[in-house]
Amino acid sequence: MLPTTSFLVAAAGVAFAQLQYTSTATSAVAAARATALTLSPTSNVVGATFDRFVQIFLENTDYSKAIANTNLAYLASQGISLTNYYAITHPSQPNYVAAVGASTNSITGDGFVRIASSVKTIVDKLEPAGISWGIYQEDMPYSGFQGNWKNQVSGADDYVRKHNPLVVYDSITVDANRAAKCKNFTMFTKDLNTNKLPQWMFITPNMTNDGHDTSVTTAGSWARNWLTPLLANPSFNIARTLIILTFDEGTTTGTNQIYAVLLGSAVPTSLRGTTNSTRYTHYSLLKTVERNWGLTAIGTNDAAANAFF
Ligand SMILES: *[C@@H]1O[C@H](CO)[C@@H](O)[C@H](O)[C@H]1NC(C)=O
Ligand SMILES: *[C@@H]1O[C@H](CO)[C@@H](O)[C@H](O)[C@H]1NC(C)=O
Ligand SMILES: *[C@@H]1O[C@H](CO)[C@@H](O)[C@H](O)[C@H]1NC(C)=O
């Protein structure tokens, strides 16, 4: 059942398929959790500069504020700090949507939206090339879930659809095999421990840890505490792993410049602790992936963006 606030983005005359997995009732979630398909395919397609790409988004902080945070400054010192990186727009949702689809697709708000299944994302480039992909969202109650989810004890917002870039696209949700690759952190740990992590992944911590309902202090300490053991874990930071830690957007009053740091084994030792002032945006995430694996652009925004390498 769709929430009554649904705002459907579709070309005139295009009918939407019925979505499943949108009910947020506790019993419906428990039932779906018991049966929902979850998939963790792997691959090893060699890229020009890296073989694994990990994107982690935190929430709503200007560059100046993030770089002043001790933990985020520490992480910046371990990699390449991108000192001229910009989000696309405000508010959150269109930034996530743009980071995987090369366009905001006319989305201007954070409400429940669906993007027509004809609209392409990076998944339509990765799959034909045989590159495995997956989304990991902390506290998403089961793979393929399409609603919002609150902490069942405190009632606080926990996992939100607007921070899950691919679930907004019908080209993902109406395809059971694709929805099954939109997973939670339980699955992340499982995939990590069984060497089932994909080559392309997008990670969002919950509304506490990403700073949305807390502050950059919480987001910074989560990021450092979460990433430090993973950087030392050879199942995560395999040879030629490129990690980007960034934010979805700045605050609405600023220039939308945001913190972004490149980490991982794909960052040459000689470049660790350096800065790079090339202008980048979330479209650079796509351009970097496309250049690395020789994929064609989704649209004009990714085609025109600068790649990290
Ligand atoms: C995460 O997803 C899996 C697979 O759908 C599910 O079995 C598990 O209960 C979920 N974990 C949490 C904490 O909701
Ligand atoms: C987010 O996850 C952390 C553990 O990583 C947990 O302590 C916190 O309660 C979660 N937030 C919500 C709103 O459930
Ligand atoms: C940084 O900037 C230069 C341009 O001065 C660019 O050629 C280089 O590849 C950039 N990227 C990284 C990750 O250092």
- Does residue 239 lie in a domain region? yes
- Does residue 33 lie in a domain region? no
The pLDDT value recorded for residue 15 is: 58
pLDDT at 6 over 80: no
The pLDDT value recorded for residue 21 is: 86
- Does residue 34 lie in a domain region? no
pLDDT at 149 over 60: yes
| Nearest Cα residue to atom 7 of ligand 2 | 208
Element (H, E) at 283: helix 283-293
pTM: 0.95
- pLDDT tens-digit profile of 10-39? 444 455 677 778 888 999 999 999 999 999
- pLDDT tens-digit profile of 223-236? 999 999 999 999 99
> What's the one-letter identity of residue 16?
F
- pLDDT tens-digit profile of 247-290? 999 999 999 999 999 999 999 999 999 999 999 999 999 999 99
User: In the structure, which protein residues have their CB atom closer than 6 angstroms to any atom of ligand 1?
Assistant: 33, 36, 38, 141-143, 184, 186-187
141: domain CATH number is: 3.40.720.10
CA 79/CA 198 separation, integer angstroms: 22
Is residue 146 within 8 Å of 128, Cβ to Cβ?
no
- Does residue 114 lie in a domain region? yes
- Does residue 19 lie in a domain region? no
Nearest to 21 by CA among 9, 6, 33: 33
- pLDDT tens-digit profile of 154-208? 999 999 999 999 999 999 999 999 999 999 999 999 999 999 999 999 999 999 9
- Does residue 296 lie in a domain region? yes
The pLDDT value recorded for residue 7 is: 43
Beta partners for 241?
A: 52
- Counting the structural domains of the chain, the total is 1
> 3-class DSSP state for residue 36?
coil
217 band by pLDDT with thresholds 50, 70 and 90: very high
- Does residue 44 lie in a domain region? no
Any idea how long the chain is?
Answer: 309
Mean pLDDT score, 94-99:
98
- Does residue 40 lie in a domain region? no
**Two tokens at 33?**
């959790």
Give the nearest ligand 1 atom to 36 CA. Answer: 5
Mean pLDDT score, 120-146:
98
Domain that holds residue 239: 4-12+49-304
